[in-house]
Amino acid sequence: MSLQFNGFGLMNLCDLAPEYIRAISPYRPGKPISELAREMNMDERAIIKLASNENPLGPSPLALEAMSRALDQVALYPDGSGFELKAALSQRYGVSSDQIVLGNGSNDVLELAARVFLKPGASAVFSQHAFAVYPLVTQAVGASGIAIRAINYGHDLDAMLHAVMPETRMVFIANPNNPTGTLLAAQDVLRFLERVSPDVLVVLDEAYNEYLPTAVKADSIAWLKRFPNLLITRTFSKAYGMAGVRVGFGLAHPDVSGLMNRVRQPFNVNSIGLAGAVAALKDEEFVKRSYALNQAGMLQITTGLRQLGIEYIPSYGNFLSFRVPGDVKAVNESLLEQGVIVRPIGIYEMPEHLRVTVGLESENQKFLKSLEIALDAARDIPRIVPAMRAEMVRGESV
């Protein structure tokens, strides 16, 4: 498509978009089950997806019931203010409603923060191997991203602090971090907050907080009273099992949340998600069950990986990243052929790793067995290829 502009010649419409938008590489989510079924001509029931850190239990029964009831109201716009969900969050976390920002998943909250506090000429600091959305939302508003080299796949908070420049307006900290699963000690995050400039917004992404053992959880909500430059983001997509209806939230000083709510779309959280989230907060037993299942599944997977001689990064989330000896692509393709979807994480500068979500016991077992088969097949490749070449030299059919 091209347009004529005032007789000065043809100009491609897309060239009018800002360069920093045209340079974005879109976020690539995990492969859906339906896509693999089409590609491999498989029955969807034979496929397990362990790629996107979803809760294998699905949502709480209370949430499912509430969402089912909400179907009667889908012809009406949702409550744009999210009054009931904000009230429930306010009661749960001891914050005022005007400290809450609701989002279409926590990704939406991250984007709102970037739209408010970043602009061309500003910068944001984040860690190497951290969530891919941080550089994406930074670039989308024309700001510069400063990626700090990780230490043992985790955040180097001292280096991140020293990287803060006069034009820096945001720092992203994922705790636990995705995709590495690493966890920063609470005292280290608190020390960072005490040292960073108060005119820099610190985004503490706690999407996997519900999967943390109590002993290592930070009392981060209490920090909001001390640090007006702190934004905490959480989600109903992980332990609450509601990834498909997209509900997340941010907690911050009322001035910060007030600015974010100015640019938030009024109906960014749908009515089904709002109803489900309110009910999910009431079902604490379900979250405990999800935590227990994850702990058992993590032990099952790490034990299996050790038996296979596979190196992995100890994780505090509901996923595990492991190093593949040999051809990562071949191993991943073999897993797909066996109906197991995991996550390649080359985009995180971890080209030798795959990430697997902790699933049900049977799913974890299938993953481990399929991985063993994939690794054996990959190890055979160096022996098979020279033999094929020898046959071709002799002119024989292979």
What is the pTM for the complete model shown?
A: 0.90
Among 24, 2, 23, 20, CA closest to 11: 2
Among 185, 186, 206, 183, CA closest to 93: 206
Class level of CATH domain 30-55+285-379: alpha beta
From residue 71, give the alpha-carbon distance in Å to each of 59, 74, 246, 367. 16, 5, 16, 36
Predicted local distance difference test score (pLDDT) of residue 323: 98
Q: How far apart are the first and last CA of the chain?
A: 49
Predicted local distance difference test score (pLDDT) of residue 326: 87
Predicted local distance difference test score (pLDDT) of residue 16: 83
Predicted local distance difference test score (pLDDT) of residue 21: 85
- Residue 192 CB neighbours (<10 A): 19
Predicted local distance difference test score (pLDDT) of residue 384: 36
Q: For residue 121, what is the DSSP state?
A: T
Distance CA 246, CA 268 (A): 9
Distance CA 105, CA 233 (A): 10
Distance CA 35, CA 27 (A): 17
Contact between 198 and 229 (Cβ < 8 Å): yes
Distance CA 31, CA 49 (A): 8
Predicted local distance difference test score (pLDDT) of residue 131: 96
Residues 6+ apart with CB under 8 A from 277: 63, 85, 88, 236, 240, 242, 247
- What are the b/e assignments for 113-149, b being 16+ CB within 10 Å? bbbbbbeeebbbbbbbbbbbbbbbbbbbbebbbbbbe
Predicted local distance difference test score (pLDDT) of residue 347: 93
Three-state secondary structure call for residue 142: coil
Contact between 175 and 183 (Cβ < 8 Å): yes
**Partners of 233 in beta bridges:** 205, 250
Choices 3.40.640.10, 3.40.50.300, 3.90.660.10, 3.30.43.10: CATH for 61-282: 3.40.640.10
Predicted local distance difference test score (pLDDT) of residue 184: 98
The full set of domain ranges for the chain reads 30-55+285-379, 61-282
Distance CA 317, CA 370 (A): 22
What would the pLDDT profile of 9-41 be if each residue is shown by its tens digit?
A: 446 888 888 888 888 777 777 888 999 999 888
Predicted local distance difference test score (pLDDT) of residue 108: 97
Distance CA 108, CA 82 (A): 15
In terms of phi and psi (left: phi > 0; alpha: psi -120 to 50; beta: otherwise), the region of 218 is beta
Residues in the chain predicted with pLDDT less than 70, given as ranges, are: 1-11, 380-398
